[in-house]
Chains A and B, each alone.
Chain A
Amino acid sequence: MSTETTTIGAVQNRNPARRGLLTLLIDWNIYIMLAALIVASAVLSEHFLTLQNIYNLLRQLAPLALVSIGMLLVVLTGGIDLSVGSVAAIGGMVVAMAMPALPIEGGAALILCVLAAMACGTLLGAVNGILVAGFGMASFVATLAMMTMARGIAYMLSNGQPVRFPRELPTAQILTAFGAKGVPGLGTPWPIVAALLIIVLFVVLLRCTSWGRLTVATGSNETAVRLAGLPVWRYKLLAYTICGGLSALAGVMVTARTSVGTPVTGVGLELDAIAACVIGGALLSGGKGTVVQTMVGVLILGLIGNIMNLMSVPAYPQQIIKGVIIILAVLLQGMGASAKRRV
């Protein structure tokens, strides 16, 4: 009889010596990745580190940043929102159509128009929230339905045509200036400033308010929150509602930059937003993820595109490379989780 041990199945044994450094690298993987991408960009192109290029890049990323924050809130509760792109399109259309329609002109009129756009997004987000939190529908299904409905509404608003507003309208001039110009003196484009303010707002809300922690708690262990006697539905509803509002605002930003409201705005935006959350380490099962890391995810996605444009990589391979980066990021995080478990 053999004394040797035969394995039934496989038990893994790994060398513990390399864990320390490995864990460190894995914990900081997205920052390392971001730094590597910045260095690579700077090496590849002398234009990259010019203020102009950085401003351009960030201005283009501002709408994605807003949508990603909304997506993060939903993802934290353990859900997903596929309708963000379509809702953004509606936001961009509503603001473009409301400006010439209003009897008043100027800054106050613009604020009204933006609020109207955000109200539409908030409403659609609330419908998502009610379907998920109130009727217990799977978020994937509810927001998939909203994705197609909202897109349909966006097309119907203008019969499928882009909405061009009169350039000479004072309200419109403010909006396009917002999209094109920068803060007087500094030159920082307004969309970047606005996005930064919103990022700071949500960093504070998620970190320093009970609401933020309970949103995380809902995704981490819904039963625990419910057993503590707290209204789980409220945190879910709020997450979807805010996500809708932020998506519409992102649509407004796109309209400001392009001076036209189009119903095809934000096609595929939901995928970029989900990718940003996931690269940033958010768990799609909920309970894990931060605004700052999600913003790093947004930057990584933006930089990949920027590098490849600088290297004149055609659009189609770009999509493949983007996918590979997402897979790599998530693989690294998975390794991080299992490395920690073994320690």
Chain B
Amino acid sequence: MERLQMQGIAKEFGGIAALRGAAFSARSGEVHALMGENGAGKSTLMKILAGAYDHQGGEIRINGAPAEIRSPQDALRRGVSVIYQEFSLARHLSVAENILLERLGRDFWLDRRGMERRAAELLADMGFPEVNPRAFAGDLPVAMQQVVEICKALSRDCSILVLDEPTAVLTAHETEKLFALVRRLRDRGVCVIYISHRLDEIFALCDRVTVLKDGATVGTWETATLDHDSLTRLMIGRELSDFFPARQTNLGPVALEVRGLTTPLVQNVSFSVRRGEVVGIGGLVGAGRTEVLRAIFGADPATGELRLNGQQQVIRSPGDAIRAGIGLVPEDRKQQGVLLDLPILTNAMLTPVNPHLGLFGILRGGRERAAAQGLRERLRLKAASLEAEAGTLSGGNQQKVALMKSLVSRCEILLLDEPTRGVDVGAKVEIYRVINELAATGAAVVMVSSEMLELIGMCDRVLVMRAGHVAGELSGPTLTEEGIIELAMGRDNVH
């Protein structure tokens, strides 16, 4: 009996289709894995199930009956609970109060003892009697916060439980405990939907697997009929197109050398980039890719050694980095890349190293304008004028504006974090062209991307990160989607 059926689910974000008629169904008493690359639509599908997103087409059925889910409350009423990576706990309330939050809305007097007893029962039942129901939720370790979230879902009789990458923050031991908990729930007839990138976990825990790709469902299989390789193939399953403009690699001397870069989220990352080279950083979201770029750029504290053009350099802030010739185009264009309300010219000149300033930092409008105009032509920026607000531009052109800052400061080491995220295909090709051109003129480019095709098409070498360290490096014939996935998901140094 299928507990949950989702059919023909469609969802668009600003004209870009995230889901195109995806289908998914799951039974009571099974752990059902939902797999796919970054951006395949897993999270979107589950957010629709949770009522966090509205869907534009398709139907959801629960126990065979059509279920209208348009708000989180609708989902809760129908027994759907989703546990996201960012927990929705009230940090300043006790564990018991968090678990039984709804009950607080029904009673007048706070029955602290009763709630604590009930919460302790639930926790013990789930195999976590050591969690103190009186402790503040915010004081618990992350793994225990997750347990509290699951107990909260169970306290309201959830019959469909979605876990979105629950082990991302857990240690091996905690993961084992979580698995035991999930199996216990399954045996009680809960329908558990499990999203994870870790293939080992899927094979250890899940009964069936559904694979999504590019917003559509590839199919559903019994886990037992699959193995590592076949599942990997199902997730990729497309051809490398000639989407990427040809480039002649002309390698110069080493421009950037990183040794033993370590931050709370990154361990001992070392690599070097030569002038004229494009080096990619691949891996899953959360593997520490962005953190590496931010640490090099001085945006986050880190230890390790940094050499620029052979010279050891200490970089403590983004200002230091820019003065040393390192530019960053951040991942989140609208929040960190450009100031949407300000004109292109102002955005482009938003840098501590502005060679177009006059004496004492007096603005020299004419010189700035000439410089910006030159860059505008070089980058083929499509805009009415340099006075146009950055927010009025398309995503691809906004990205070019974000890049202008670094070029104004004459940065020759460029760190690009997901440079093509959320831009359409035409704009992507434009950005690829710009990157190639920069490399051809002697820039050293480090590019983080979740799109494997992009890494393969654009980069001379790709470092694949997993859980904060470099799992391996791929280039030439080893640089394939299978190679990237294997490294990203858990087989070290396969060449």
Contacts and interface: CB of A to CB of B under 8 A. Distances in A.
B390 interface: no
B380 interface: no
Interface string B293-310: 001101011111110000
A47 interface: no
A164 interface: no
Contact of B109 (A6, A208, A230): A208
A11 B302 contact: yes
Contacts of B260: 5
Nearest to B139: A340
Nearest to B51: A227
A223 interface: yes
A220 B110 contact: no
A216 interface: yes
Given A11-B303, A211-B108, A287 B101 contact: no
Contacts of B239: none
A10 B316 contact: yes
B292 to A, nearest CB: 11
Interface string B70-85: 0011001100000000
Interface in A204-236: 207-214, 216-217, 219-221, 223-231
B110 A209 contact: yes
Given A217-B101, A288-B92, A9 B316 contact: yes
A326 B295 CA distance: 36
A7 interface: yes
A80 to B, nearest CB: 18
A75 B148 CA distance: 26
Interface in A83-115: none
A6 B306 CA distance: 8
Interface string A1-21: 010011111110000000000
A209 B111 CA distance: 8
A8 B303 contact: yes
B377 to A, nearest CB: 36
A227 B314 contact: no
A221 B90 contact: yes
A287 to B, nearest CB: 4
A209 B109 contact: yes
B393 interface: no
Considering residues B106, B303, B314, which has the most beta carbons from chain A within 10 angstroms of its beta carbon?
Answer: B303
B313 to A, nearest CB: 8
Contacts of B102: 228-230
Nearest to A7: B303
Given A5-B304, A220-B91, A229 B298 contact: no
A10 B301 contact: yes
Given A213-B93, A217-B90, A229 B105 contact: yes
B388 interface: no
A5 B303 contact: yes
B76 A8 contact: no
21 contacts: A2-B312, A5-B305, A6-B312, A7-B314, A8-B314, A9-B317, A10-B301, A11-B302, A209-B108, A213-B93, A213-B110, A219-B92, A220-B91, A224-B88, A224-B89, A226-B72, A227-B73, A228-B101, A228-B105, A230-B105, A287-B92
